Homo-oligomer: A and B are copies of this chain.
Amino acid sequence: MSDESRSAPRPRVGRTTAGRRRLRHALTVAAIEKFSEQGYDATTVDEIASAAGVGRRTFFRYFRSKEDAIFPNHEEVLGRIEQLFATADDRQNPLEVACAGVGLVLDSYLADPDVSVKRFALTRTVPSLRDKEVASVDRYQRVLATYLRARFQAAGDPLWDLRGSVAAAAVAAAHNHVLRRWLRSGGTEDAHAHAKEAFALVIDAFADAAPPRSAGDDESVIAVLKASAPLSEVVRQISQALRRDG
C-alpha cells in the first residue's frame, strides 16, 4: 500500500448509486490510462483525479490507494455472491450454485473489456498489482469454500471440510482459466461459452457430492454399459438414470 493510503473510502452522501458507480468507473479508466501511458510508479493520485475531472479528496472517497483504483469493486461482487449463496435453494447442486457465484466475478470483468484487458497487462508487469490480484482470488475462494463446506456438511458428508476446500479450489481454477483465456484473447472470445464448458467440468467432477435424493427410493436400476466407454460417459448416464425423477 502506498504512503498515500487512507483507512477507508467514504462515499459522499447525496450522490446517487448510479452516479457513484459512474464516477468510480471514470477514476478507474483514468488510473489505467495513466499507468499504461506513463508507468505505474510515475503516476500520482492527483494526476488520476485530475484526469477524471475531480480532486484528490474525491478520489479517496472511492479508493484507499492508487493500486485500488484499477480493480473491480470486489467488495460489491463479494456481497452479491454472498447474497446469492444465502438465498440459494438447498436442493440445487452445490457446485452449480458455486459456479453461479464465480459467474458474477466473471461478469464483472466482462462488463468492461477495455478496462479488464488493460488491467491484465498492468498486473503482469507491476508486482504490487499482481499481489493484489492474487489476494482477491484468495478472497473469492474462501467465500466459495465456506458455502460448499456448509452444504456438504448439511448433506452429512463425512469429508465435508476436505471436499469443500478442494471443490472451491476447482471452481476458482475453472473461473480463472476462462478469465485468463478471455483476457489473452484481448477480450474478443466468447467467455460465456467457455465458462459453460468449464463449469460443466467441475460440476461433473464433484457430481457425487450432490445432495442425496429426498424420496425413499429403493428400486434397482439395471445398467448395460460398454466396458470400453469412457468412464465420464458412464457416470453421466448413470447419474441421469438415478436422478431422473429426483
Interface residues of A (CB under 8 A from B): 131, 134, 138, 159, 161-163, 165-170, 172-174, 176-177, 197-198, 201-202, 204-210, 212-213, 216-228, 230-232, 234-235, 238-239, 242
Contact = CB atoms under 8 A, between A and B. Distances in A.
A108 B3 CA distance: 39
Nearest to A158: B197
Nearest to A176: B165
Contact of A217 (B138, B168, B221, B227): B227
B177 A173 contact: no
A75 to B, nearest CB: 20
Nearest to A246: B227
A240 B213 CA distance: 24
Given A225-B238, A227-B242, A238-B225, A170 B162 contact: no
Contacts of A197: 159, 162
10 contacts: A159-B197, A165-B173, A208-B230, A209-B232, A213-B227, A219-B227, A220-B227, A221-B226, A223-B225, A234-B238
B230 A221 contact: no
Main secondary structure of the interface of A (DSSP, over half): helix
Contact of A231 (B159, B210, B228): B210
Contacts of A202: 166
Contact of A177 (B162, B170, B204): B162
Given A221-B225, A222-B224, 20 more contacts: A134-B134, A162-B198, A162-B201, A163-B201, A165-B176, A166-B170, A170-B173, A205-B206, A207-B235, A208-B230, A208-B231, A208-B232, A209-B232, A213-B227, A216-B228, A218-B227, A220-B227, A223-B223, A231-B238, A234-B242
Nearest to A208: B232
B220 A226 contact: yes
Given A208-B231, A222-B223, A166 B173 contact: yes
Nearest to A177: B165
